[in-house]
Chain A
Amino acid sequence: MAIEFKSIPLKEKKIKFTIQLEDINGITGNNRFDILDFLLFKRREGEILYNKEKIKPEEKKQFVSYVEEFALSKYFQNKVIEAMYYELRRKGIDLKDPKKKLLESLKIVGLPSAILERNLKFLSSSEKALLRISIGLLSNPEILIIDEPFEELDKQNMQKVLLLFRRMTDQYNKTIIIISNDMDMIYQYTDHCMILQENKVILEGYTREVLRKSEVLKKNGIKVPEMVEFTELANKKEKGKIDYHRDIRDIIKDIYKHV
């Protein structure tokens, strides 16, 4: 289950890449925003295979939703309900009963309905972060693309959002695409990832495998995830006995066994 993008123009080059459906995908690197219009099915160049079937971008355009990292900042003088309506209009989302939909999407992310009447300026960082996700869900998208969803969240809220994403992929067959420059987050929480750097797809595939290629990452000026870097150094001493884990407790267990 995948969307294959072929012969996609990136600056003066043509690239191809794949988004795995019903999973959490991560996109990173300095060109990470340059393919956004293709992911949003707004551009017609290249070829798109949706589950191996060739499609025209416009067929899928309404099934994808994108939430920018600072989408709400420009409304700092407005009430939440006004900001949400502005966003709906800006994105051309036409809903029969927008207020009902707003309340439903707030409920999904665990925000109270009373937040609609509050001024954005006085929301906490986590409320803004959850509100962004709820705006992304308004159109009930098959694919949710979101910039830095965890940036302002503490552990508890981050786990809550991760669980929501997992429920979306596993129970509702949705696809999540996280755009981020946080390599540690991509390593720990995504299933697949792609690195777009200097107009090339540097690496793509299963996150656990791809982000272990530290030499390729370093060569291309990409930060190696801390857990990978430490494991690699440890393995130089311990000749490959420490596994590549994504949870610090597992790394400690391995060290304990081998020290």
Chain B
Amino acid sequence: MKRMIMIHQFFYKDLWKDFNLYIDKNKFTTISGPNNCGKTTLMRILNRDIITDNMILIDEKDINDYSIGEFSSTVQGVFPLEIIFQEKTVEEEIALYNINREEVGEVIKGLNISSTVKKQVKNLTVEEIVLVQITLALLKKPKIVLLDNIHPYLKERTKEVLEFLKKYQEKYELTMVQTTIHLEDSLPTDVLYIFENGMIALEGKPIEVLENDTRINKIGLELPFMMDLSVKLRDYDLIDTIELDKERLVDSLWQ
């Protein structure tokens, strides 16, 4: 598996000492961890908002060796609400990024924002601004998309947006990296890393990582309710396998 992002022997302030992280190409990776574990700082570093003299390879090239234009067509970061629109309407703003009707249409349909497109940017809701930010990032056709804690802004739409992003990432063979404190947001993705005290505490397929309930609770994260319940019931020998469906769990408890 080719690595798209390689962070090797990384040192940064008190956060990381000799830290290593390798993110696979064409995968949707989730980074989670307790508050102040460095999730957003890492995204800022990968987006070159914070420059360090550490060796970070992006698509096998040192992050500091990219020209500005080359970097923006390789990495697009979405940091919620951090955008200064240049045009008056969303439609005009989108045209600055991509004018291919088919490509634009696909993203607008996928993110379900056709009613937002005609709006003036000053009239957008918080949720719409973030959806437009995601749209613009995808339409730049980068190799890597960074999504920093987008979920609180999307509210009830989080699940459908993540599902679309997963499909889009697979179709266009993108490398996507998202940060979140809510572990259920990792379930549609391929890989989950949980950071703690400058180290990777847990890593692997999300559903498998989430089975480490005691460790996750100790780290200070909350498991999705059904996962937490199911893992604990299994540990008490009340059920044999993890079951995330409530009805099936009840059936297996009182069969």
Contact = CB atoms under 8 A, between A and B. Distances in A.
Interface string A152-168: 11111100000000000
Q: Is the interface of B mostly helix, strand, loop or mixed?
A: helix
Contact of A184 (B40, B44, B225, B249): B225
A122 B42 CA distance: 11
Nearest to A233: B250
Contacts of B253: 234, 237, 255, 259
Interface in A159-193: 181, 184
Given A70-B126, A238-B254, A255-B233, A153 B181 contact: yes
B81 A124 contact: no
A215 interface: no
Instruction: Give the contact-size bracket for chain A.
Output: 35 or more
Given A126-B36, A248-B229, A259-B238, A154 B82 contact: no
Given A70-B81, A227-B225, A230-B249, 15 more contacts: A121-B79, A121-B82, A122-B50, A124-B36, A152-B149, A152-B152, A154-B34, A154-B220, A154-B221, A154-B222, A155-B34, A157-B35, A230-B226, A237-B250, A251-B229
Given A70-B153, A122-B44, A155 B221 contact: yes
A69 B126 CA distance: 10
A252 B233 contact: yes
Instruction: Give the contact-size bracket for chain B.
Output: 35 or more
A4 B228 CA distance: 39
In this complex, which of A74, A152, A155 has the most chain B Cβ atoms within 10 angstroms of its Cβ?
A155
A125 B40 contact: yes
Contacts of B35: 124-126, 152-154, 156-157
